[in-house]
Amino acid sequence: MTLTTIWSVITKIIDISLVWLMFYYILKNVKGNVKLVLLLKGIIIIMVIKLISSLLNLYTVGLLLEYVIEWGPLALIVIFQPEIRGVLESLGRSHLLGRHKVLTFDERERVVYEIMEAVEYLKRNRIGALIVIERDISLQDYITPATKVYADLTSSLLGTIFFPNSPLHDGGVIIQGDRITCAGAVFKTSMDPNLNKRLGTRHRAALGIAEETDAIALVVSEETGRLSIATNGELKYNLTLEDFRMTLVEELKPKAEMFYDADDEIEEEAGDIDE
């Protein structure tokens, strides 16, 4: 093989890899956005109807759909401009090389311990709280207007921030690594129509940030003391303290460690089958 041929193969691999990477990040952000999911479903339905009209020679339906397909993209850009901008902003906030700080095992243990100590206190005293832990997607847009703290994560500090008479009680706390970056953060609430109508603003804000980013959102209900966790566009509601802790531990694991755990489980299952 000549150098020209090798270079041509390399450029094609890079080209294909970049296209797949682009589609991966777009689909990853679309998955958590309810409006964009509905939009994608609508586009698929239109394309299916267009295919059927072509197979059955439905002239009128096909003509109308041609106009829709021709002018539809322009209309979609105008109508869904906020959602499209949100996806592009999410892509811009992504850290391709990972988190701001990858916690060691001991640091993760301390983070979980301090959070659980605070959560148990908040639950016991029916004090509402919203704690958001940043992962790969930056939360700087929410940190900038909030009250900066930049302090070590401790259960006593979390309890103080969310104490009912505190001016920061109604906002959310953002944690980066093992430090509290800010308090009083305000998040966009989820517009998911399937969300339980009885859930309050904290739960909707938690789900909203979990739909928009890959953050972990922890909620303590002020009315009932119930615990919830929102991740990857889903809300796990009314968890026990043990389930809450286990979910938090799993979500804080680095991706590489999660892959190792999955490989270990596969090996254990294979060993059981051999026996």
**Protein fold of 105-258:** YojJ-like (1 (3.40.1700)
Model pLDDT, residue 87: 60
pLDDT exceeds cutoff 80 at 98: no
Model pLDDT, residue 131: 97
Q: How confident is the model at residue 242 (pLDDT cuts 50, 70, 90)?
A: very high
Alpha carbon distances (Å) from 43 to 53, 64, 98: 15, 15, 33
pLDDT exceeds cutoff 90 at 27: no
Alpha carbon distances (Å) from 147 to 56, 161, 187: 62, 11, 14
Q: What would the DSSP string read from start to end of the chain?
A: --HHHHHHHHHHHHHHHHHHHHHHHHHHHHHT-HHHHHHHHHHHHHHHHHHHHHHTT-HHHHHHHHHHHHHHHHHHHHHTHHHHHHHHHHHHHB-TT--SSPPPHHHHHHHHHHHHHHHHHHHHTT--EEEEE--SB--HHHHTTSEEEEEE--HHHHHHHTSTTSTTTTSEEEEETTEEEEEEE--PPP--TTS-TT--HHHHHHHHHHHHSS-EEEEE-TTT--EEEEETTEEEEEE-HHHHHHHHHHHHS-HHHHHHHHHHHHHHHHHHHH-
Per residue in 157-212, pLDDT tens?
999 999 988 888 889 999 999 999 999 999 999 888 888 888 889 999 999 999 88
pLDDT exceeds cutoff 60 at 26: yes
pLDDT exceeds cutoff 50 at 259: no
Distance from C-alpha of 76 to C-alpha of 73, rounded to nearest angstrom: 5
Least confident range of 34-43, 45-54, 160-169: 34-43
Residues of the chain with CATH 3.40.1700.10: 105-258
Model pLDDT, residue 264: 54
Model pLDDT, residue 58: 82
Q: How confident is the model at residue 78 (pLDDT cuts 50, 70, 90)?
A: confident
Per residue in 125-156, pLDDT tens?
999 999 999 988 888 889 999 999 999 999 99
Bigger pLDDT: 220 vs 50: 220
